Homo-oligomer: A and B are copies of this chain.
Amino acid sequence: MYRSHNCGELNISNVGENVTLSGWVQKSRDLGAMAFVDLRDRYGITQLAFSNEKDAGLMTSAQKLGREFVIQATGTVIERASKNKKISTGEIEIEVSDLKILNKSELPPFTIEDETDGGEDIRMKYRYLDIRRNPIRNNLVLRHKVAQEVRNYLSNVDFLEVETPYLIKSTPEGARDFIVPSRMNEGQFYALPQSPQTFKQLLMIGGVDKYFQIVKCFRDEDLRADRQPEFTQIDCEMSFVEQEDILGIFEGLTRHLLKKINNVDVAEFPRMDYATAMKLYGSDKPDIRFDMKFGKLNDVAKNKGFKVFDDQELVVGISVPGCANYSRKQLDKLIEWVKRPQIGANGLIWSKHNEDGSFKSSVDKFFSTEDLTQWAEVVDSKPGDLILVMAGGIDKTRKALGDLRLHMAETLGLRDPKKFAPLWVVDFPLLEWDEDSERFHAMHHPFTSPKVEDMHLLATDPGKVRANAYDLVMNGNEIGGGSIRIHDKNTQATMFTHLGFTEEEAKKQFGFLMDAFEYGAPPHGGIAFGLDRLVAIMGGQEIIRDFIAFPKNNSGRDVMIDSPATVSDEQLVDLSLKLDIKK
């Protein structure tokens, strides 16, 4: 038996007990006549006490312990002289009578502390040491708890977790698949699922009625910062439902999680249609923890002799609270910020709404106080606020101002990680035009049902058709998205046609689903949450990497195990493959 208790459970009520603990040496303090060792495990830290007077031999052993040594200590729980009120074990210590080194440790390449001196790269290489640190370990605990709560909540309302296959078939629609050569089927390949979409629809056709699965999904994308080639979804589907049923169930789940895990009560989630979200926030995932809604200034800012505005599709502004006192330098920095390639704006116009009600703008030459007063009304600014205005093409300008809005909120501390502001964004367009391929792509995916009332536009003006699709947005992040699906073969065939599939292609890739629609497919719909992001946001952060036990870097590498790697020639021969390296 390696231990009678863990390092987080002993307290004043255990005084006098003989106990055995095992764990890692967090740190030791040698006071000459006495020595103290902080013994750490997943559950906490317990202080071990040694003294020359009691046992000089043990004292010598204790003095030789290095950081991260794995030891086993037996002794008596005693009350501490100087108590540490910050930890639950802080009132006691162990007067050690027996000490055993279970394993030594080299000096770790970075400190195992909440604030470590290790950089990102070294922490990734030694991820197993990084996981010993409280912040990372707590993230994994949080992730476990969230997953457990999701499973229990959904199971309690009759959802079945059903495992769908990982070795499926490659379909070119959407992102790139990871493919897996089949040895037994020469020249053929499986693909790893980008999502279990078609399988969960087949489960609905199979009468499973309510399905969920916490499942790994895979996308071979050029990785943007904080994207992972493998990621985890909470994947859900229900039969005999309309959009309202889905929103109800999963709003309930989200509210339950926030209450149970974060102890936060959230009111009914607001709903916002896609068009409004784009108009007011320049984003389909608005952060509504704070205001700063867009105000469209075309009517009051164009045709006043300021050429920069006159020719543009959109002139639009926000009112940044309490920033009227920004210095010239601060304003210049903002202008630089929006001109960076990531934002790509041509410039930024500002107007200070001074405390005394007067205005001072970067365009005083062109706009009168009356004009600027009108601006202030449109963007709903108050004395003391700073009005920021951008102009240009609608989509690009909205995007840029949306980014600026978030930046200002960040700067002002308005993106409070302890505050949760979920909302539903609904009525997404069914299709979006892709300039590169000169055809429509499915905005959600090809199985999303058009809104009945827009069906008549599908043939004449497909870009105008709205979908029965919805996103759950929280704190400026999409944490879930879904749709009511098509469940009849004809609509699905029409959809494939609009997406540029030939009948043959559609049949080759999705024939099994089209066939299944012939045998009594029920109306159905679903949603998928990104577990990595959900957990990160619930943990008050936005970097998903720190909420994944063994993440990959931006080149898709696991630097700890050094993967991917070359394989043997025999393996390739078995798979009937040859490398074809481009030099």
Q: Could you tell me if A522 and B102 are in contact, using CB atoms closer than 8 angstroms?
A: yes
Cβ of A366 < 8 Å from any Cβ of B?
A: no
Interface residue stretch chosen among A269-277, A284-292, A416-424, A565-573: A565-573
Within 8 A of B (CB), among A162-188: 162-170, 172, 176-188
A162 shortest CB reach to chain B, Å: 5
Q: Could you tell me if B580 and A577 are in contact, using CB atoms closer than 8 angstroms?
A: yes
Cβ of A401 < 8 Å from any Cβ of B?
A: no
- Nearest residue (CB) in B for A42 is B209
Q: Could you tell me if B144 and A155 are in contact, using CB atoms closer than 8 angstroms?
A: yes
Q: Given known contacts A127-B202, A128-B202, is B187 in contact with A103 (CB within 8 Å)?
A: no
A176–B574 Cα gap in the complex (Å)?
Answer: 10
A126 shortest CB reach to chain B, Å: 7
Q: Could you tell me if A190 and B160 are in contact, using CB atoms closer than 8 angstroms?
A: no
Fill in one digit per residue for A133-150: 1 if any B CB lies within 8 Å of its CB, else 0. 000010011011001100
Cβ of A2 < 8 Å from any Cβ of B?
A: yes
Cβ of A1 < 8 Å from any Cβ of B?
A: yes
A2–B70 Cα gap in the complex (Å)?
Answer: 60
Cβ of A393 < 8 Å from any Cβ of B?
A: no
Among the listed B3, B177, B199, B206, which residue makes an inter-chain contact with A240, where contact means beta carbons less than 8 Å apart? B3
Among the listed B185, B519, B563, B573, which residue makes an inter-chain contact with A105, where contact means beta carbons less than 8 Å apart? B519
Residues of B within 8 A of A187 (CB): 566, 579, 581
Interface residue stretch chosen among A333-341, A356-364, A454-462, A548-556: A548-556
Q: Which of A105, A560, A564, A580 has the largest number of chain B CB atoms within 10 A?
A: A564
Q: Could you tell me if A558 and B165 are in contact, using CB atoms closer than 8 angstroms?
A: yes
Q: Could you tell me if A70 and B521 are in contact, using CB atoms closer than 8 angstroms?
A: yes
* Chain A residues touching B, majority SS: loop
Interface residue stretch chosen among A79-87, A214-222, A310-318, A443-451: A214-222
Residues of B within 8 A of A1 (CB): 242, 245
Q: Could you tell me if B579 and A577 are in contact, using CB atoms closer than 8 angstroms?
A: yes
Interface residues on A, range: 35 or more
- Nearest residue (CB) in B for A232 is B163
Q: Could you tell me if B162 and A568 are in contact, using CB atoms closer than 8 angstroms?
A: no
Q: Given known contacts A68-B520, A549-B162, A561-B168, is B209 in contact with A43 (CB within 8 Å)?
A: yes
Q: Could you tell me if B70 and A189 are in contact, using CB atoms closer than 8 angstroms?
A: no
Fill in one digit per residue for A509-522: 1 if any B CB lies within 8 Å of its CB, else 0. 00110001111111
A123 shortest CB reach to chain B, Å: 12
Q: Could you tell me if B2 and A240 are in contact, using CB atoms closer than 8 angstroms?
A: yes
Q: Given known contacts A22-B522, A574-B176, A580-B576, is B208 in contact with A169 (CB within 8 Å)?
A: no
Cβ of A575 < 8 Å from any Cβ of B?
A: yes
A152–B209 Cα gap in the complex (Å)?
Answer: 24
Residues of B within 8 A of A563 (CB): 167-169, 190-191
Q: Could you tell me if B207 and A131 are in contact, using CB atoms closer than 8 angstroms?
A: yes
Residues of B within 8 A of A155 (CB): 144, 148
A545 shortest CB reach to chain B, Å: 13
Cβ of A296 < 8 Å from any Cβ of B?
A: no
Q: Which of A207, A222, A516, A568 has the largest number of chain B CB atoms within 10 A?
A: A207
Q: Which of A183, A186, A241 has the largest number of chain B CB atoms within 10 A?
A: A183
A161–B210 Cα gap in the complex (Å)?
Answer: 24
Among the listed B69, B198, B207, B575, which residue makes an inter-chain contact with A42, where contact means beta carbons less than 8 Å apart? B207
Q: Could you tell me if A2 and B102 are in contact, using CB atoms closer than 8 angstroms?
A: no
Cβ of A557 < 8 Å from any Cβ of B?
A: yes
- Nearest residue (CB) in B for A181 is B179
A518–B108 Cα gap in the complex (Å)?
Answer: 9
Cβ of A322 < 8 Å from any Cβ of B?
A: no
Cβ of A41 < 8 Å from any Cβ of B?
A: yes
Residues of B within 8 A of A415 (CB): none
Q: Given known contacts A167-B178, A564-B169, is B209 in contact with A2 (CB within 8 Å)?
A: no
Cβ of A464 < 8 Å from any Cβ of B?
A: no
Q: Could you tell me if A582 and B186 are in contact, using CB atoms closer than 8 angstroms?
A: yes
A365 shortest CB reach to chain B, Å: 52
Among the listed B169, B192, B550, B558, which residue makes an inter-chain contact with A180, where contact means beta carbons less than 8 Å apart? B192
Residues of B within 8 A of A230 (CB): 165-167
A135 shortest CB reach to chain B, Å: 13
A to B CB contacts below 8 Å, 12 in the list: A42-B207, A42-B209, A103-B520, A126-B519, A131-B208, A137-B207, A148-B155, A166-B216, A179-B181, A180-B180, A186-B582, A511-B562
10 extra interface residue pairs, beta carbon distance < 8 Å, beyond A70-B522, A131-B206, A188-B565: A2-B241, A103-B521, A105-B519, A144-B160, A165-B552, A167-B229, A168-B563, A186-B582, A188-B564, A189-B564
